[in-house]
Copies of this chain bind each other. A is one copy, B any other.
Amino acid sequence: MAVRRKIDDYTLCLSCGRSECTERRFHPIMEKSKERSLKMKKLTIDDVARKAGVSKSTVSQYLNQRYQYMSEATRQRIAQVIEELEYRPNGLARSLKQNRTYLVGVIVANIDYNLSIRCVKAIESELQSRGIQTLICNADEDPDKERSHIETLLARQVDGLIVFPTAHQAAIYEKLNEQHTPYVFIDRLVEGVRTQSLLLDNEAAVKMGVSELIASGHSRIGIMTLPLGVQPITPRKERLAGFRKVMEEAGLPLCEDYVCSAAAADLADELAKLMALPEPPTAIIAANDIVLAELLKASNRQGIQIPQQLSVIGIDDAEFAQIYNPAVTTLSQPAREMGTQAAKIIMAGIEDKEKPVPITYRFAPSLQVGASVKDLRRGE
């Protein structure tokens, strides 16, 4: 044990419970540093200029790769000095003067959705390839946090914003329009705001799900979503509305008991109620990741066999859908593509300085066939 506890000068083992550790657990011991006090002088462009024997304007030209303004010799000298000194220009000063930060802010409504993370990864990778850094903020479904993040990001002069909005705060976004800050919405819309948006074709997703169920002989189909609330979040609203419409189009009876919107914590109860009906549904569409998770957990606990007793189709990109036994059939979103496109659009907005026509891009879901749908026709 001794070895493990000495990886560094001190290694306090929080699991050992020894009394000697307790006191200092979370109180890092500091020691005054002499060097720190005598203010570290930072390297500036002047230092480089002096050492290279040129003016700082020349160095600046070099930094911005305008080599036509200097002789080959100067160029090399500057390069060498920068190398030696390990000089790195101060991004703040640069951005201040250039009025460009090469920063794009991403505000995620809820980072717990797998979709968010997948989109963000795509956004980051696309932007990075263009030399832009991404500042990710999580609003945690709180409109106030969303607003405050926008304020902070603007104060930092970000070049653009990609937003998974939490609510319908049109006023904020109107202001962004006024000051010509490019922004796009992704996954969800904000009512009354004219800008570019990228979303799943939610109705198509529901339709594909229902079709799949019908093809397997189901007709008693239900849907579970999170609560709609006063300002319904786009995907929930569209998926629910889509469900009603699609069922009607398919000529299937829509039983209101089969349509349920409830908070995550209440979904288990709702499921129990559904299954206790004289005529329970034979299949349920889980309108998103979170609903699917609750649904699976609840059916484990309640001993509901999937798909023998209940067929399930999920919408979204939950990782666990593929891992669950049986694998859950889902309608997944082209998250990578959506993120990449969002990034491209925002870059167009930043670089072209032209006002884009508001467009809502709709992305097609794709069916990931699992084994969570029972084929009623063959009585499997």
Q: Which residues of A contact B (CB under 8 A)?
A: 4, 7-15, 25-26, 28-33, 35-37, 40, 86, 88-93, 95-96, 101, 111, 117, 121, 124, 133-138, 151-152, 154-157, 175, 179-180, 189, 194, 196-197, 201, 203-204, 238, 293, 296-297, 300, 319-320, 322-327, 341, 344-345, 348, 352-365
Whether A133 and B157, one on each chain, are in contact in the complex, defined by CB atoms closer than 8 angstroms, is no
Cα distance A357–B31 when bound, in Å? 7
Residues of B within 8 A of A356 (CB): 28-31
Whether A7 and B354, one on each chain, are in contact in the complex, defined by CB atoms closer than 8 angstroms, is no
Cα distance A208–B163 when bound, in Å? 43
Known A323-B324, A348-B30; contact A15-B204, beta-carbon cutoff 8 A = yes
Chain B residue, CB-CB nearest to A300: B325
Partner of A293, one of B111, B117, B203, B323: B323
Partner of A364, one of B11, B14, B91, B179: B14
Cα distance A358–B323 when bound, in Å? 41
Residues of B within 8 A of A197 (CB): 8
Known contacts A4-B238, A8-B358, A31-B356; 18 additional CB pairs below 8 A are A7-B189, A12-B361, A14-B201, A14-B364, A30-B354, A31-B357, A33-B180, A33-B354, A37-B353, A40-B180, A86-B175, A91-B152, A92-B95, A92-B101, A96-B96, A111-B121, A320-B320, A324-B324
Separation in Å of the A19 CB from the closest CB of chain B? 15
6 nearest A-B pairs in the assembled complex, by CB-CB distance = A15-B364, A320-B320, A33-B355, A30-B354, A91-B155, A15-B201
Known A325-B300, A344-B26; contact A8-B117, beta-carbon cutoff 8 A = no
Separation in Å of the A31 CB from the closest CB of chain B? 6
Whether B327 and A359, one on each chain, are in contact in the complex, defined by CB atoms closer than 8 angstroms, is no
Point out which of A7, A36, A152, A201 has the most chain B C-beta atoms below 10 A from its C-beta. Answer: A7
Partner of A26, one of B11, B124, B341: B341
Residues of B within 8 A of A326 (CB): 300
Residues of B within 8 A of A121 (CB): 111, 138
Point out which of A10, A136, A157 has the most chain B C-beta atoms below 10 A from its C-beta. Answer: A136
